[in-house]
């Protein structure tokens, strides 16, 4: 299973379009978004994904209600709350934004997930 990861897209529509294009070209099976969409007008761009996407809310996502409403209009897009437990490709994945570093470290220490995916730092890290 090929999983694409996005985070902190921050209304940067050109970058969202480029990322969606790349994820479609790579034919990923699932996309995880670790939050910070910022505004609901990014959702139609994410809807161009050919694979399902599961996302969580970030610390800069202000209008939760409207974001949820926009996501609900697309069957292959799912917006959870601040955290999502996802099983994909035989792996248990914890998905959160990551602005609460103490919570993030606790999830990692518990070893309840094979992988924990987060954003917030604007840095690619493994």
Whether the Cβ atoms of residue 54 and residue 29 lie closer than 8 Å to each other: no
The pTM for the full model equals 0.93
Dihedral sign (CA 108, 82, 11, 5): positive
- Tens of pLDDT along the chain (126 residues) come to 999 999 999 989 999 999 999 999 999 999 999 999 999 999 999 999 999 999 999 999 989 999 999 999 999 999 999 999 999 999 999 999 988 889 999 999 999 999 999 998 666 665
Give which of 40, 43, 6 is closest to 22, Cα–Cα: 6
Domains of the chain, earliest start first: 3-117 (3.60.21.10)
The CA-based angle 4-92-69, given to 5 degrees, is: 60
Q: How far apart are CA 79 and CA 1, in angstroms?
A: 21
């Amino acid at each position: 299973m090929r999983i694409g990861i996005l985070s902190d897209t921050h209304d940067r529509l050109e970058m969202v379009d480029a990322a969606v294009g790349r994820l479609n070209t790579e034919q990923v099976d699932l996309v995880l978004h670790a939050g910070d969409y910022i505004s609901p007008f990014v959702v139609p761009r994410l809807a161009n994904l050919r694979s399902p996407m599961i996302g969580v809310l970030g610390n800069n996502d202000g209008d939760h209600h409207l974001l949820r409403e926009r996501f609900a209009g697309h069957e292959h897009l799912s917006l959870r709350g601040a955290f999502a437990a996802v099983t994909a490709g035989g792996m248990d994945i914890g998905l959160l934004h990551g602005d609460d570093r103490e919570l993030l470290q606790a999830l990692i220490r518990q070893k309840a997930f094979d992988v924990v995916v987060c954003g917030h730092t604007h840095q690619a890290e493994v």
